[in-house]
Amino acid sequence: MADSCRVETALEILVGKWKPVILFHLFSSGTMRFSELQKAIPDITKKMLTAQLRELEYHDIVHREIYLQIPPKVEYSITEYGKKMTPLLQAMNDWGMAHVEHLNELYGKDQSVESFEVNDELVGK
């Protein structure tokens, strides 16, 4: 735990209602157009998709490739630097899965940690 705590720095990048799902899709599919992301995440609005992508872009996690053509085409992908997040995301994912199990043991199977609609979405894709 050392003498300081930058956990919040990591949180800042990931926090945002749709960032984990966006990252999940980009990590899985490699490169996706704006409209492909929209299709993959039906409930997100253009406004939010744009906003969250811009934040990830600012943090050099996501790359935005613009093709100057009509109609426009924009592709998003994980940067090389962004790929270094994989172990962290993996660790969070693993801990999250174990924690769901733990909560089930504590409170019973019917309990939810909320916000699982996001996962339903992934399942239904």
> Which residues contribute to the site for its own copies (CB under 8 A)?
1-2, 4-15, 20-21, 23-24, 27-28, 59-60, 81, 85-97, 99-100, 102-103, 106, 113-115, 118-119, 122-123
From the list its own copies, DNA, none, partner contacted by residue 104 (C-beta under 5 to 8 A by kind): none
We find the least distance from the C-beta atom of residue 104 to its own copies, in angstroms, to be 12
First to last CA, the chain: 39
From the list DNA, its own copies, none, partner contacted by residue 78 (C-beta under 5 to 8 A by kind): none
Q: Nearer to its own copies by C-beta: 8 or 110?
A: 8
What is the footprint of DNA within residues 34-93 (CB under 7 A)? 34-36, 43-48, 50-54, 64, 71-75
49, two tokens: 């998709």
Cα distances (Å, whole numbers) of residue 18 to 26, 54, 104, 107: 12, 12, 25, 28
Cβ contacts of 98 within 8 Å, gap of 6 or more: none
Does 17 interact with DNA (rule: CB under 7 A)? Answer: yes
On whether the CB atoms of residues 52 and 22 are closer than 8 A, the answer is yes
Query: How, if at all, do strands 31-33 and 73-78 pair?
Result: antiparallel
We find the least distance from the C-beta atom of residue 82 to DNA, in angstroms, to be 17
